[in-house]
Chain A
């Protein structure tokens, strides 16, 4: 049903410079379809600053401000206030990688959220600095291989959506390229909310960085949801709710074992059985917290 109303217009044009199987590009294509032509993109240093293609051309059929790494949320703050002041309509959307969001860009993002600018901020999370060649970021999962964590990341992935929800912004959501209708729904909802910053955290598989065949992007994205390692949800005015297929995964028996997700990716190929068991335990713990959260809200 839903696919019949899916917008046909393309804003991500042919000839862009993404790697084959790029999860970020799939996401951005759907994000732009959801938001339409009156969309201003602000993009810091990240893969997408290359994907856009070289000056003076651009692979995006919307205006794009490319800006310094730490500066995207602040640039969007100024842009959205200027458009408002000048009486021009439009969605101002930051499209930033995980490094530019959870690490170097976090201060500006936190400031923009606290000030309540009418921005949609989307972090496409490929879980490492991929544009510079797969170095660990604050969003790299526990035990994942990167070039700067050759024995696996000893730390844990920063939970940015929770940090953003703690700013009391009106909308926080997660999206995944395997579920385009969900992307469309959430982005349209976000663009309809005018008071404050809307934060969207996007799961973004990366074939070269995660060491898998480019044909597997959507499969891996779906496995991430089905194993429960990535959760689809929304936090609307502080209320948490699971969305789409994640809703049924509160029951442990509905979740696939995380090993199915881990074993298809070279970045986890060094994992021992103990490591896999530990990651499974962490995922189960995460779901116990979600269950508590949901039953708390029902009270």
Chain B
């Protein structure tokens, strides 16, 4: 098992190389570009035998993969922010057509004003689209969850597209040591190529996506919902198997110091590092705090998270998304998990780090003070 010094974006490219897709299509956008540049290098050098379609827009990037996956190809693309929004229409087409496409989303704020720095609003915009959604907080996790995505997406019980999000610059452009998977073991983890039946074949003419009357439409949507429910088992199995293949263990989320915690922070992505520093600082002062890092966002682990947060008095969601007139998407999901479990915890929904604002442990300590004052239950933290 080799270790390389890689950025989050290069880690994604190495995972794609190791997953051996047939077709990659992409349109450049900051901060996604190093991924597709690296993949292009892998293809040109012969390290990866795949077709690279250099499309003229993100809309076409996803459309090209829909065309490719509909005849049975393994596929990849990556995008970010405005690009993801330009692609948005066809993102739904991919999931509605039940195609196991895999995508990287380097999370970046949306304009206006122009911003290239991280925020998760682009990622959350896909939460109802039917895609399985993972969030990575380090280059290692980008590598791992990109590979895990192929296993989940191509699982015959699932057949839904799958994406991995990670923070612009803080993860996308930061070098970290990344352990690559052993290729022989990886082959036993990834589904064999062609293990799922292509929807379109000349020998067996069928059609994909034609007009459906209401009674048929609802059946298609219901089947998709069931697939998404089955995805939870598929994710859990994939994570377990991945652990046995690589030794790195994941679950729907990581719960650190949660057992006796009165206050639990919930985070996604690169805020995790500083949040962990804040939690350790608070623990050293005798404060009973814990930290949840969420890896699996869709299907959302309502039951598992609700159970993990059962003993907490306060649950503080630190969400990196501009939200107006509502809770943050992560806050709303965590609130549902608490309610469904009928826990007594008070929910605090905090928006911070929007548009790439640096989040320090000190900020999180500040949030903690404000929460203990039992002030507002929903607020923006602006330094």
Contacts and interface: CB of A to CB of B under 8 A. Distances in A.
A64 B208 contact: yes
B126 interface: no
B157 interface: no
B51 A82 contact: yes
A61 B71 contact: no
Interface stretch (B199-207, B224-232, B255-263, B342-350): B199-207
Given A66-B209, A111-B56, A77 B67 contact: yes
A42 B204 CA distance: 16
B65 interface: yes
A71 interface: yes
Contacts of B56: 107-108, 110-111, 114
A42 B206 CA distance: 12
B22 interface: yes
A27 interface: no
B206 A58 contact: yes
B67 A42 contact: yes
A58 B209 CA distance: 10
Interface stretch (A46-54, A159-167, A195-203, A262-270): A46-54
B362 to A, nearest CB: 47
Contacts of B90: 67-68, 71
Contact of A66 (B72, B205, B208): B208
A66 B207 contact: yes
A42 B216 CA distance: 22
Interface in B187-205: 200-202, 204-205
B13 interface: no
B64 interface: yes
B212 to A, nearest CB: 4
Most B Cβ at <10 Å: residue of A40, A85, A90: A85
Interface in A103-143: 107-108, 110-111, 114-115
A56 B216 contact: yes
B67 A75 contact: yes
A111 B210 contact: no
A39 B93 contact: no
Contacts of A114: 56
B55 A65 contact: no
A63 interface: yes
A115 to B, nearest CB: 7
A166 to B, nearest CB: 16
Contacts of A73: 60
B69 to A, nearest CB: 8
A2 interface: no
B216 A54 contact: yes
Contacts, number: 172
Contact of B205 (A55, A63, A111): A63
Nearest to A48: B210
B202 A65 contact: no
B63 interface: yes
Contact of A108 (B50, B63, B71): B63
B68 A81 contact: yes
B67 A79 contact: yes
Given A77-B55, A107-B56, A111-B60, A82 B68 contact: yes
Interface string A77-98: 1111111111011100000000
A66 B211 CA distance: 9
B63 A71 contact: yes
A88 B202 CA distance: 9
A63 B55 contact: no
Contacts of A82: 22-23, 51, 67-69, 71-73, 75
Nearest to B213: A54
Contacts of B107: none
Contacts of A81: 23, 51, 53, 64, 68
A190 to B, nearest CB: 18
A79 to B, nearest CB: 3
B206 A63 contact: yes
A58 B51 CA distance: 31
B211 A52 contact: yes
B59 interface: yes
Most A Cβ at <10 Å: residue of B51, B205, B206, B212: B205
B123 to A, nearest CB: 22
Contact of B67 (A56, A74, A85, A86): A74
Contacts of B68: 78-79, 81-82
19 contacts: A40-B200, A54-B211, A54-B212, A54-B213, A55-B212, A60-B207, A68-B89, A71-B89, A74-B59, A74-B63, A77-B53, A79-B68, A79-B71, A81-B51, A82-B67, A82-B69, A82-B75, A88-B202, A107-B60
Interface of A: 37-40, 42, 49-50, 52-56, 58, 60-68, 70-86, 88-90, 107-108, 110-111, 114-115
Interface of B: 22-23, 25, 50-51, 53-57, 59-73, 75, 89-90, 93, 200-202, 204-213, 216-217, 220
Given A54-B216, A63-B206, A88-B202, 16 more contacts: A55-B212, A55-B217, A55-B220, A65-B66, A65-B207, A66-B211, A74-B55, A77-B53, A82-B22, A82-B67, A82-B69, A85-B51, A86-B73, A107-B56, A107-B60, A115-B54
- 9 A-B pairs with least C-beta separation: A78-B64, A111-B56, A74-B60, A79-B67, A78-B67, A66-B209, A71-B63, A75-B67, A82-B73
